[in-house]
Structure 1
Amino acid sequence: MTSLDSVLDKDGVRLTVEDAVATVTLTNPAKRNAQSPALWRALAEAGRSLPGTVRVVVLRGEGKSFSAGLDRQAFTPEGFDGEPSFIDLARGSDAELDAVIAEYQEAFTWWRRNDIVSIAAVQGHAIGAGFQLALACDLRVVAQDVQFAMRETGLGLVPDLTGTHPLVSLVGYARALEICATGRFVLADEAERIGLANLAVAAEELDGSVRDLTAALLAAPRDAVIETKALLRGAQSRAYEDQRTAERAAQARRLRDLAGLAD
């Protein structure tokens, strides 16, 4: 196997690549992998740094918690060293504030690219921004001690790191509203039952279960997985007849490729 350690290792994020599998690890367990703008920039850089050979990306957090959410230091007048505090950001113009939030969101957008399948391996706390980071991935395997919660509304904020769309898609509008508005915990059994988690396992089985899922995803031809993922993602916004058309076009491409007739 070809192993490339520390393709990226900065600001609480480490990216390693082994053959067709990349692993993105949150590396600040002492703070329960709390998130910051620097971490978000590092996550976005990890997405840009993926070699073209990567087919599966596994996201995990070191320690007992996946991510306990945004570091509360962001709400202090001092903020983070070298960063404007959120209080300072709020004083900016609408355009400036929109641009900053859009930059933060980049850390959460690349996980659903059609050329990869992303898996979040989630244990312990996955709160706020941590919950949204898990939702950014295509699939979620969770340990029995997982605690999902969307606490933004209780702080007078909204979930703005791309989590609302996948949450509604997975559990429906009414349940998504209830989860966000109450800020309650969603534990492993419920997460699996309502579709937040693809699989819930004992904590000691988390790594092995993710490896098994990764191997199963790699067993199918890459181009077929890419086309299938694109079809499924597009199905949410397409009308039924448009989806039928998309299926026909995708299958034609696959048949021509298999027959050696692709352009």
Structure 2
Amino acid sequence: MKRMKAPFAAKRFVDEYFPHCQAAVLAGSVVRGEETPTSDLDIVVFDNQIEGPYRESRIEYGWPIEIFVHSLTSYKTYFRSDAERARPSLPRMVAEGIVLKDSGILSLIKNEAAELLNEGPAPWSEVILLTKRYMLTDVLGDFLGTQNETEALFIANTLAEAIHEFVLRTNRQWIGASKWIVRALKQYDEDFAERFVAAFQLFYKTGNREGVIQITDEVLAPFGGRLFEGYSVGK
């Protein structure tokens, strides 16, 4: 059976299961024009009658649906939490979401989300910067030193995530996870993102580590390069 278009399915879902909510938005890949055969509907619901915020997964009208339900105050806690971890999942969904229902409150909430996104995450303290620089150096050392190609595959995974975090956080940009790693890098600097992807593709396809090593040193260079000698915690 052919499933109905995303906005209609999302609107029907809200009308059927949250008829008394104050507002709801549809977000995710279907809104950004990045829909795939496995895409789901991300729906954020604002309902002051709930006992507490929750997330739920359902299948309705041929769609997998992820529902994020908040009161008119609980979303603020999640906005702050997302900002602190530098992964603004809920603010991004609210800001980009298309309106499914609105009792007149959404413009304010969307403005909050947009302001948070535009501000970016808080800068790292000097202590955190030194620690992250040391940790990136340490993972690079493992990558350089291992002769076990199987181990190198998984060290490279860790290194890729650490590089993406380091370059984005030191430039006060939001970070990502999984598919959002490359998306976040592209939003910051498309040229760097292309070189980042090329370096890891070369390693995974041929075993050549030079590109990965070079790009790691590139992101460390403005902060003094690799760090081992003299690093201390709790002394």
- TM-score, normalised to structure 2, is 0.29
Q: TM-score, normalised by structure 1?
A: 0.26
Which is greater in Rg?
Answer: 2
